[in-house]
């Protein structure tokens, strides 16, 4: 497979934050989220073709730094990502990331890009994909508990891919809710700011929890969750960090990305090792039924998996062609004679 971009093989297309924002607006935010949902779903349909491993994590008292690799045998990808909830107090992002695509056949990288924005986009698209298969049919209202950096992306992905038109918001920080209300103004959604989690989930067919504290938290208790709802739990994504009371999991049918990772990082870390879960790809391919009836509680225990990053990187690479929204980086030493790396170095001094 050769590069889709007009670059020499020694140059790697790099998408900066500024160019990623240009690309998003060039495509259109909702169009991008809808297309990305479809691209991720297409890769979930060929789930068995991917190398899979739990992400490589370096934990500290301050947060976590992770590498997330995968390959389908033709393309290799990885993402570097951190999660540091205390960063907000210092005016820093909780999550930052960058990612890379490479050709398996040569080992040469073919794309390097920021992934702080792209991770927010692919996380929202993955949530929408899960809701499309698991949420009650005809659902128009979603509750968003936790109104931080991910909130608007989640809302717009649900609008674009699922048909949600009403968002009910709650955050322990009223300023976070006010920010989200402001940013979603004019986006074609009815947005309601609520004063508690309980009031936010009233009438909602989908409940999305996305909080940042690295702790065993109880954002939802069992008595709050009515029959028939779908829950996207996306804030609990590392050991020692959860959002739901375990009694909710005892009532729900739980769907996950990759069980060996989710049992370490997700809501199900609270449960016994034999707690039953269903892999989401099996629902998407029709091997397993997702939502069976109107009273079933479905839970997508999402921690984020490398295949989703692979999909997002591949999508960006395809969309870059003809846009100019990238720079060529000279990061691959490529002498005219492959065995003469030292000679290339000598000639550089003479030049």
* Residues tagged active-site: 237
* Burial environment of residue 322 by CB neighbours within 10 A (0 to 12, 13 to 18, 19 or more): exposed
Q: Which residues pair with 67 in a beta bridge?
A: 56, 80
Per-residue three-class SS string for the chain? CCCCCCCCCCCEEEECHHHHHHHHHHHCHHHHHHHHHHHHHHHHCCHHHCCCCCCEEEECCCCEEEEEEEECCCEEEEEEEEECHHHHHHCCCCCCEEEEEEECCCCCEEEEEECHHHHHHHHHHHHHHHHHHHCCCCCCEEEEECCCCCHHHHHHHHHHHHCCCEEEEECCCHHHHHHHHHHHCCCCCEEEECCCHHHHCCCCCEEEECCCCCCEEEEECHHHCCCCCEEEECCCCECCEEEECHHHHHHCEEEECCHHHHHHHCHHHHCCCCCCCEEHHHHHCCCCCCCCCCCCCEEEECCCCHHHHHHHHHHHHHHHCCCCCCEEECCCCCCCCCCCHHHHHHHHHHC
How long, in residues, is the chain? 351
d(CA 224, CA 203): 12
């Amino acid at each position: 497979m050769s590069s889709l971009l007009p670059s020499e093989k020694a140059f790697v297309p790099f998408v900066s934050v500024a160019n990623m924002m240009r690309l998003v607006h060039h495509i259109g935010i909702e169009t991008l989220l809808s297309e990305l949902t479809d691209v991720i779903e297409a890769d979930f349909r060929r789930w068995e073709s991917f190398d899979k491993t739990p992400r490589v994590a370096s934990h500290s008292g301050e947060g976590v730094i992770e590498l997330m690799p995968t390959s389908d045998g033709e393309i290799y990808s990885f993402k570097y990502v951190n999660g540091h909830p205390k960063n907000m107090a210092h005016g820093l992002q909780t999550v930052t990331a960058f990612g890379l695509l490479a050709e398996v056949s040569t080992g040469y990288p073919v794309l390097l890009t920021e992934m702080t924005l792209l991770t927010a986009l692919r996380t929202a698209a993955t949530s929408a994909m899960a809701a499309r298969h698991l949420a009650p049919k005809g659902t128009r209202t979603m509750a968003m508990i936790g109104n931080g950096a991910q909130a608007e992306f989640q809302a717009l992905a649900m609008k674009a891919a699922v048909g949600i038109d009403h968002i009910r918001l709650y955050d322990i920080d009223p300023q976070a809710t006010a920010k989200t209300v402001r940013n979603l103004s004019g986006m074609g959604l009815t947005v309601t700011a609520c004063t508690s989690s309980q009031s936010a989930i009233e009438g909602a067919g989908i409940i999305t929890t996305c909080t940042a504290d690295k702790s065993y938290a109880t954002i939802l208790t069992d008595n709050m969750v009515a029959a028939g709802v779908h829950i996207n739990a996306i804030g609990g994504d590392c050991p020692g960090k959860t959002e739901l009371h375990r009694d909710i999991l005892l009532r729900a049918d739980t769907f996950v990305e990759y069980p060996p990772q989710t049992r370490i990082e997700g809501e199900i870390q609270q449960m016994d090792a034999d707690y039953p879960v269903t892999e989401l790809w099996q629902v998407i391919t029709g091997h397993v039924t997702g939502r069976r009836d109107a009273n079933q509680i479905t839970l997508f225990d999402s921690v984020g998996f490398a295949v989703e990053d692979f999909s997002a990187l591949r999508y960006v690479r395809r969309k870059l062609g003809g846009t100019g929204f990238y720079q060529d980086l000279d990061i691959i030493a490529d002498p005219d004679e492959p065995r003469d790396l030292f000679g290339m170095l000598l000639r550089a001094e003479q030049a």
